[in-house]
Amino acid sequence: MVSMLLNALLIAVREIRRNLTRSFLTVIGIVIGVAAVVTMVTLGRGATETIKGEISKMGSNLLIVRPGQGWWNRGSDNFSMDDMEVIRRQINGVADLAPMVQSNATITYQENNSNFDIQGTTPNYFKIGNWEISQGRAFTREEVDDSASVCVIGETIRQKIFGPVDPIGKRIRVGSTSALVIGVTAPKGQGGWGDDLDDNVIVPYTSLVRRQTGSQGGKFISQIMVSGKDGFPSAQIVAEITLLMRERRNISGNEQDDFNVFDSQQLADVVTSSTKVMTSLLGAVAGVSLLVGGIGIMNIMLVSVTERTREIGIRLAIGARAREVLLQFLVEAVTLSCIGGLSGIILAYGLCLALVKVVGTPFIFDPKINLIAFVFSAAIGILFGFMPARRAAKLDPIDALRHE
């Protein structure tokens, strides 16, 4: 059986080499189909990983409790430090918390100035938000308690305001007050919504509350940053926080929440799922080319059977069995489709290397999709090559020998 397959393969290669142009035009559909499917899936996977990376820049297992519905607060009360401490004590699965007090001010250093966001928080925020310090240090708990006039700036601010000057130890004007620059955060680039994550000033929340609003009491927290424990279901944390905040904000059963809990993990899951669906749809559309290529193989094999009718008759007349003839033409069809599949994978590899630079996604080689595409191309050869092979095997030797 092995020798029969090897002999059939050698004859198939000989026939393909005899008609190279026709063979190329026959497999071009398979090449395009396999290349399109592999390219679409590879780029889709790269896009998914890019989106996950962008969302992870926001923080580890991050949940954000905000007043109002949607991203912006429209008239709902902010939170207090008591709200945050109750969440810390009563909600299971919470690893850490940090308050967020937000403002906006003109940052000035010598003759350079620009308008930037100001974020007041605690040292916990740097860990929760996955912030690394590239220069200097973060502020301490003692500096928060003392309402110290210190700040940590983003890389965008360092470039715009300080340029080549080392910012550590320099004083900047933040609105009508001054602050000592003690650190610079490592660049994060753009966030999931295309916003610049490096254009903010991070200060102790006590300093911002006292200097910007003139008060250290009451409800001044515009966001509560919550970090969930690894492995703990974030949906459960969201549900428990929602029930607790409804109780603390005196919201009855029929009333709508005047706050919302943003879950970065759920967002990542939704976006990932959507990207996978789009990738699957694009891959399915590209897969139509494989069917077109299969039809092309069937067509050319039918032509080949007609052209080689006398050859088939001679083989049958000298003792070849029908199943040997069927195997011969089936091997030729599979060989054509496999050559097309392998060529399509090579083409897809080159396309992916070129396109990832254009779309800005990483190139993630997936052996699984390449193997599936190759096996599917071989299956196309078997499926569409069987009818011509069966037709050749059923030829009558006498009629075949009479064929002109």
Of residues 378 and 310, more confidence is placed in 378
**Which pLDDT score is estimated for 370?**
85
**Chain segment 51-97, per-residue pLDDT in tens:** 666 666 665 578 888 888 765 656 678 888 888 889 988 888 888 89
CA distance 94 to 147: 26
Mean pLDDT of 102-110: 87
pLDDT exceeds cutoff 80 at 123: yes
Find tokens 């080319």 and name the residue. Answer: 289
Handedness of CA 357, 358, 364, 367 (dihedral sign): negative
CA distance 339 to 347: 12
**Chain segment 170-192, per-residue pLDDT in tens:** 999 888 888 999 999 998 876 65
Give the list of residues 6+ apart from residue 276 with CB closer than 8 angstroms, or none.
44, 48
SS3 113: strand
**Which pLDDT score is estimated for 12?**
64
**Chain segment 341-388, per-residue pLDDT in tens:** 899 899 988 888 888 888 777 888 888 888 888 888 888 888 887 777
Q: What confidence tier does 294 reach under pLDDT thresholds 50, 70, 90?
A: confident
Domain boundaries, the chain: 2-54+269-402, 77-257
Mean pLDDT of 28-53: 80
**Which pLDDT score is estimated for 389?**
75
Spell out the alpha helix ranges (H) of 198-250. 205-208, 234-248
Nearest to 8 by CA among 352, 334, 338, 361: 334
Mean pLDDT of 104-117: 86
**Is 26 in contact with 297 (CB distance < 8 Å)?**
yes
pLDDT exceeds cutoff 60 at 404: no
User: Which residues share a beta bridge with 113?
Assistant: 108
pLDDT exceeds cutoff 50 at 216: no
**Which pLDDT score is estimated for 168?**
93
